[in-house]
A = this chain, B = another copy of it.
Amino acid sequence: MAAAGLDALLVSDPANLYYLTGYQAWSFYTPQLLFVPAEGELLLVTREMDARGATRTTWLPIEQILGYPEELVHVPDRHPFDWLASELRRRGLVAPARVGIEADAHFFSPKAFLALEKGFGEWELTDSQELVNWVRAIKSDAEIATMRTAARVTTRAMQAAIDTIGVGVPQHVVAAEIMRAQVLGDADAWGDFPAIVPLLPTGAAADTPHLTWSDQRFVAGDAVVVELAGAHRRYHVPLARTVMLGEPSAELRRTETAVAEGLSAVLETIRAGVRMVEVADAWNAVLARYGIEKRSRLGYSIGVGYPPDWGERTMSIRASDPTVLTENMTFHVICGMWMTGYGYEVSESIRVTADGVETFTDFPRALISKG
């Protein structure tokens, strides 16, 4: 904040609230905010209903939690942050200052932003440019340990998917067994709710990566992409694999070979000190040899996640990203190939180490043949 010239920060992203205070509840459908002054006490602002029990998850004392009145929930003419402006003014906390907002955070609406602009005329509001997300980029050992626990959930969930997928099985039945496994987890590695539901792009519809399930049945010849994450205490470890029902086409086999080689090249390139462009180049060089191009990014930073995204919205694996890799950065390296008529995905969630990578799961990487 000092480097960015910020006197205070208004944090809205539920993942950032959790990271900074431990606050965790499904309360982000109504406005909430953490006031982080450069000097002074944090203040967590939620709906009154949620403020009361917030100390069950956050380390903040009850005196630093403000609940706005229930009658401000979903009314057209007033915003909870109008109330906040009076409340902070009453506490003498509103003086001329340069205050960061999370201008691109999920659940921070233009209406909320305009209420802040109106209520806090003394403040120069400026985009914090994902400041807290960037602080989250390099994980502590405790965070890495939590991600290793999440990875155990991931493995169980992927195994449940593979065990269930088959010719004639409806998509939603597979989704049901994945979700059960995602929450049951693996003994003490209990599963927290993942930020994204299981995605199962299949056959020709695999050109639509974010399609969710229906009761449509898998048929012989389908290549079923499974993209899911295990989560533990809000930390995510995503994983993608492809299950083939019957014999793969020559084209799919060729894609698999290219992607396997490309992913290996990427994992061999990643280590602390390497620039992201080198990682992207390693991938693109292999794909070019096979005459394949992938326009979307090859992955993104992961860690704490809330719906609708388990990515951190900071670093992306692509040539234009200026990042220099640092030990304990964590990424989902996802080779998502959305081809005409079929799709193929394989991914690894990884930690950057001093001399290479740690993959969080050790799930076999090849195309999985069933039935």
What is the interface of chain A, defined by CB distance below 8 A to chain B? 24-29, 48-50, 52-54, 56-57, 69-71, 73-76, 101, 103-114, 127, 129-130, 170, 172-173, 175-177, 179-185, 188, 190-193, 196-197, 199, 205, 207-215, 295-297, 300, 307-309, 311, 313-314, 316, 318, 320, 338
- The residue of chain B having its C-beta at the shortest distance from the C-beta of A55 within the complex is B208
Q: Find chain B residues with CB under 8 A from A105 CB.
A: 109
A73–B316 contact, CB under 8 A?
A: yes
B192 pairs with A212, CB closer than 8 A: yes
Chain B residues with CB under 8 Å of A113's CB are: 110, 113
User: Are A311 and B207 neighbours in the complex by a CB distance under 8 Å?
Assistant: no
User: Contact at A209–B50, with CB atoms within 8 Å?
Assistant: yes
Given contacts A26-B212, A113-B110, A205-B53, contact A70 B176 (CB under 8 A): no
Residues from chain B with Cβ under 8 Å of A199 in the complex: 26
How far, in Å, is A112 (CB) from chain B's closest CB?
A: 8
With a CB–CB cut-off of 8 A, which chain B residues contact A212?
A: 24-26, 192-193
Q: Are B106 and A110 in contact (CB under 8 A)?
A: no
Q: Is the CB of A70 within 8 A of B170?
A: no
**B190 pairs with A183, CB closer than 8 A:** no
Which residues of chain B come closer than 8 Å to A49, judged between CB atoms? 209-210, 296, 338
- In the complex, 26 of the A-B residue pairs with CB atoms within 8 angstroms, ordered by the A residue number, are A25-B208, A26-B197, A26-B212, A48-B296, A49-B210, A53-B338, A54-B208, A56-B208, A57-B211, A71-B320, A74-B300, A74-B311, A74-B314, A76-B129, A103-B109, A104-B109, A105-B109, A106-B106, A107-B107, A107-B308, A108-B110, A113-B113, A170-B190, A172-B183, A175-B193, A307-B307
